[in-house]
């Protein structure tokens, strides 16, 4: 009888199999995976067999993560967990003192040169900060006393969306998550968007979105606002999942982009599908910016409307309509997500659809669970599994899921919902 393999051997085989797929894809498409500053981002590579490559990449990451945990000692796991803030602190300090801009995008510089440029910090302090990050491949030390970019650190300088996300994490989200335990102590397992880690952290009584809207009106955009605006056209938005992942040719004549911000997704859809008309709904302060930035060639096809997300939708009787909820429901608990869907139902007619574009998370063990914690701490929202989406939609009379898919390696899902009366 053949001897059964151990878990670690199974994981090693899974990693090796995924590596073969990854190597085949990168070789065929002339890509090279490395930490070099000019190397491409592995999560964004496209080409022949890209879908198989992305699946293998995710499988390799998950298997190596599991193997690392399997081989770790009990105390080591918690030491890493409880001290990871030191790495974040080093990066936050570099950004506070704008040290990253002292390193050329190509080549290297010395710690002594950075100290002369900075004046606020000495060479020893600067070297300690960079050395900490270099251990995690954020920057590299090509020779003693020298520092240069890796593809990770270079992205901070060249990708405004990434920088905005990092700053939001440091300046706001960390506080929201840290105070989640206090929110649970005070409110219990609440579904209310005003009983969150955000509320405890800031002492503000309103929802995060109401606070953001007020800050916009006062001309004081928060780090969260900056992050949303900067990432709207970046890889974090994963807009291509909804643009390419659905048969828009046969979907209808009008797309109602519910809480669609400044219309960035509607603009991309309008460029690809000239037969579609769009109505972008959001706060008044948001749509004013959207209208001002709208390309002139799309002004006859994209219209903006100030509308509360819980306000009942008006019927559009003469055309097939798609109500797009992109990255919306995860901001809300089931109680309020249900209300959002219920507000659309009275406007639906046969042939109309609701399209939900959110993460569809696995039951456990995936990186998207960190996103779930973000939603929880900031909004009392949540990322949902396929089963949880089925339960949510099924709780709204008249609605039924007809198709659910995840065309993106980022688990960004597309859920098509129809009215069944």
The pLDDT tens digits for 59-94 are 999 899 999 999 999 999 999 888 998 999 999 999
pLDDT band at 364 (very low <50, low <70, confident <90, very high): low
Give the mean pLDDT of 21-40.
95
228 vs 293: which has the higher pLDDT: 293
CA distance 102 to 106: 12
Q: Are residues 391 and 281 both part of a single domain?
A: yes
Q: Are residues 102 and 246 both part of a single domain?
A: no
Q: Are residues 176 and 301 both part of a single domain?
A: no
Q: Are residues 256 and 397 both part of a single domain?
A: yes
Give the mean pLDDT of 127-155.
97
Q: Are residues 192 and 302 both part of a single domain?
A: no
Residue 361 falls inside a structural domain: yes
- Domain end: 52, 75, 98, which one? 75
Residue % of the chain over a pLDDT of 90: 70
CA distance 134 to 63: 24
Indicate the pairing of strand 321-326 with strand 254-257: parallel
Residue 249 falls inside a structural domain: yes
Residue 145 falls inside a structural domain: no
For residue 331, the tally of other CB atoms under 10 A from its CB is 22
pLDDT band at 1 (very low <50, low <70, confident <90, very high): very low
Confidence (pLDDT) at 247: 86
Indicate the pairing of strand 412-419 with strand 321-326: unpaired
Confidence (pLDDT) at 4: 45
Specify the range with the lowest mean pLDDT, choosing from 225-229, 314-318, 401-405. Answer: 225-229
Residue 374 falls inside a structural domain: no
Q: Measure Cα distances from 386 to 51, 191, 217, 331, 406 in Å.
A: 21, 20, 38, 17, 10
pLDDT band at 230 (very low <50, low <70, confident <90, very high): low
363 vs 349: which has the higher pLDDT: 349
Residue 1 falls inside a structural domain: no
CA distance 270 to 263: 10
Q: What is the maximum span of the chain, computed from C-alpha positions, in angstroms?
A: 74
Q: Are residues 195 and 225 both part of a single domain?
A: yes
- Domain end: 55, 75, 95, which one? 75
Confidence (pLDDT) at 114: 96
CB-CB contact of 212 with 222 (8 Å): yes
pLDDT band at 180 (very low <50, low <70, confident <90, very high): very high
Does pLDDT of 283 surpass 50? yes
Q: Is the dihedral of CA 174, 329, 343, 356 positive or negative?
A: positive
**Domain limits for position 226:** 160-231
Give the mean pLDDT of 238-251.
78
Is residue 364 classed exposed, middle or buried when 0-12, 13-18 and 19+ CB atoms within 10 A define those classes?
A: exposed
pLDDT band at 238 (very low <50, low <70, confident <90, very high): low
Cα three-residue angle 330-335-339, rounded to 5 degrees: 85
CATH of the domain at 413: 3.40.50.150
Domain count, the chain: 4
Residue 313 falls inside a structural domain: yes
């Amino acid at each position: 009888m053949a001897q059964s393999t151990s878990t670690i051997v199974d994981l090693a085989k899974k990693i090796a199999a995924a590596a073969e797929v990854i190597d085949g894809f990168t070789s065929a498409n002339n890509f090279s995976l490395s930490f070099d500053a000019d190397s491409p981002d592995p999560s964004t590579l496209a080409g022949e067999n890209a879908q198989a490559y992305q699946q293998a990449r995710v499988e390799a990451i998950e298997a190596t993560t599991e193997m690392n945990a399997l081989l770790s000692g009990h105390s080591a796991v918690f030491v890493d967990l409880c001290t990871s803030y030191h790495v974040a602190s080093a990066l936050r300090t570099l950004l506070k003192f704008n040290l990253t801009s002292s390193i050329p995008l190509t080549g290297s510089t010395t710690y002594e040169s950075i100290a002369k440029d900075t004046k606020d910090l000495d060479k020893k302090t600067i070297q300690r900060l960079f050395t900490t990050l270099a251990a995690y491949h954020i920057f590299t030390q090509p020779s003693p006393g020298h520092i240069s970019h890796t593809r990770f650190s270079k992205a901070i300088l060249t990708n405004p969306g990434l920088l905005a996300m990092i700053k939001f994490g440091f300046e706001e989200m960390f506080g929201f998550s840290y105070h989640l335990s206090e929110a649970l102590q005070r409110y219990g397992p609440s579904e209310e968007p005003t009983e969150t880690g955000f509320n405890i952290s800031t002492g503000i009584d309103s929802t995060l979105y109401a606070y953001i809207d007020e800050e916009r009106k006062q001309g004081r955009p928060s780090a969260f606002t900056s992050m949303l605006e900067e990432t709207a056209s970046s890889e974090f938005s994963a807009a291509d999942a909804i643009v390419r992942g659905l048969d828009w040719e046969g979907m209808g004549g009008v797309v109602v982009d519910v809480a669609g911000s400044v219309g960035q997704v509607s603009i991309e859809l309008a460029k690809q599908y000239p037969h579609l008309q769009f109505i972008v709904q959001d706060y008044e302060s948001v749509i004013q910016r959207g209208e001002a930035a709208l390309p002139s060639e799309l002004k006859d096809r994209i219209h903006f409307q100030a509308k509360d997300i819980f306000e009942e939708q008006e019927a559009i009787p003469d055309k097939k309509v798609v109500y797009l909820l992109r990255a919306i429901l995860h901001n809300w608990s089931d109680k309020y997500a249900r209300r959002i869907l219920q507000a659309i139902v009275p406007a639906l007619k046969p042939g109309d659809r609701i399209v939900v574009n959110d993460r569809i998370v696995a039951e456990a063990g995936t990186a998207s669970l960190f996103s779930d914690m973000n939603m929880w701490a900031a909004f009392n929202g949540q990322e949902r599994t396929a089963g949880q989406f089925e339960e949510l939609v099924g709780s709204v009379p008249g609605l039924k899921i007809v198709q659910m898919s995840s065309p993106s390696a980022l688990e960004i899902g597309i859920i098509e919902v129809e009215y069944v009366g």
